[in-house]
Amino acid sequence: MIPLTEIFCLIDDFFKHFDQAQNKYILPNPNRKRNKPCTICLSELMTIIVMFHLSHYRTFKDFYLCCLCQHYRKEFPRLVSYNRFVELMPMTFMPMVLLLKGLSGKQTGQYYIDSTKLPVCHNLRIYRHKVFKNVAKRGKASTGWFFGLKLHLVINHQGEIMNFSLTPGNVDDRGVVEHLVSKLQGWLFGDRGYISKKLAGTLANQGLELITKVKNNMKEIILDPIKKQFLNFRGIIETVNDQLKNLFHIDHTRHRSVMNFQVNVLAGLLAYGFKPNKISVPFKKLNNLNLILISN
């Protein structure tokens, strides 16, 4: 069941403040003779996009025509045609970014960072691909080479998204870490791709300790049992990435617009925020470990 009322009320309340703040900075256009508002409001647009990512439909067109137009006419009486809706989707980009930033998770002191690939086409069609020609780049992940972009994600140990970033596929994962964790303090757990003395020193100056496993040719680092236990649960961020791709549909190669691709990713992240039971670090095991350490 999609919590439609909860989603719409949250988005609509946000748009009330967003419109008031935006109108202060909009310059009048003397060449525009008409100022006719759109039939469907922006809050309804964003709600529908988020609903799609919470549904079982794999394509937005099937969701819009077979589900929304047939079963949600009472909730959305001013629906526009499918083609018109696709044209209006870029209008939700900036409000969606601001809303996601405002809905970031709690600062718990334990965070996980990882990146995941978002291919835009099959490797055999790289030279024929045109939509992301000047945006997507070739990159290499643990599963091999791809052509597309990367989603960099930071979550807390409760599975809540703290920050995110989209970069071309050839960007080094370590290059965006400082921007993503600029306001965080505590422990940051990552994979071996984030090993860097310079990065670890920079993060330590702001009160954030970077903790990773070592490579085979490196000396073993002795960690506290609590830190080691948190590091062993680093796989939860990979589970979050898997859910974003397979449950919230942020990963597919049918995009025909760069802007709508970004809206699709943002809506998937926003839909994940409405997921009731997020994966998190089990505290029972950590509490048992604390009792063992105290008793010793």
The structural domain count of the chain equals 2
Is residue 293 one of the residues assigned to a domain? no
Burial of residue 102, with CB atoms counted within 10 A of its CB: 0-12 exposed, 13-18 middle, 19 or more buried: exposed
Q: Are 50 and 169 members of one domain? A: no
**Residue type at position 231:** L
Residue 291 has pLDDT above 60, yes or no: no
Q: Are 77 and 244 in contact (CB under 8 A)?
A: no
Is residue 46 one of the residues assigned to a domain? yes
Q: Are 70 and 121 members of one domain? A: no
Q: In the prediction, which pLDDT does 250 show?
A: 93
Residue 169 tokens read as 């596929």
Quickly count: other Cβ atoms within 10 Å of residue 207's Cβ: 10
Which is nearest to 2 in space by CA: 39, 57, 41, 43? Answer: 57
Q: Are 94 and 151 members of one domain? A: no
Which is nearest to 129 in space by CA: 261, 296, 273, 288? Answer: 261
Q: Are 12 and 157 members of one domain? A: no
Q: Are 251 and 267 members of one domain? A: yes
Q: Are 125 and 270 members of one domain? A: yes
Is residue 10 one of the residues assigned to a domain? yes
Cα distance between the two ends of the chain: 48
Is residue 295 one of the residues assigned to a domain? no
Distance CA(267)–CA(7), nearest Å, equals 12
Q: What is the CA radius of gyration of the chain?
A: 22
Distance CA(113)–CA(194), nearest Å, equals 9
Q: Are 142 and 163 in contact (CB under 8 A)?
A: no
Q: Are 92 and 188 members of one domain? A: no
Q: Which residues contact 49 (CB under 8 A, 6 or more apart)?
A: 89, 92, 263, 267
DSSP H or E run through 115 = strand 110-119
> What CATH code is carried by the domain that includes residue 271?
3.30.420.10
pLDDT in tens, 121-172: 999 999 999 999 889 999 998 888 999 999 999 999 999 999 999 999 999 9
Q: What is the pTM of this model?
A: 0.88
Comparing 38 with 82, the larger pLDDT belongs to 82
> Which of the listed residues 58, 80, 101 is the one where a domain comes to its end?
101
Q: Are 76 and 155 members of one domain? A: no
Cα dihedral 73, 76, 82, 86 in deg (nearest 10): -160
Distance CA(124)–CA(286), nearest Å, equals 47
Q: Are 125 and 62 members of one domain? A: no
Is residue 290 one of the residues assigned to a domain? no
pLDDT in tens, 87-123: 999 999 999 999 998 888 999 999 999 999 999 999 9
Is residue 236 one of the residues assigned to a domain? yes
Q: Are 126 and 267 members of one domain? A: yes
Q: Are 48 and 97 in contact (CB under 8 A)?
A: no
Which is nearest to 192 in space by CA: 137, 231, 224, 162? Answer: 231
Q: Are 125 and 271 members of one domain? A: yes
Distance CA(124)–CA(196), nearest Å, equals 34
> Which of the listed residues 101, 133, 151 is the one where a domain comes to its end?
101
**Parent domain of 273:** 106-285
pLDDT in tens, 190-232: 999 999 999 999 999 999 999 998 888 888 887 888 888 899 9
Q: Are 229 and 186 members of one domain? A: yes
> Which of the listed residues 79, 101, 123 is the one where a domain comes to its end?
101
Is residue 126 one of the residues assigned to a domain? yes
Is residue 17 one of the residues assigned to a domain? yes
Q: In the prediction, which pLDDT does 39 show?
A: 83
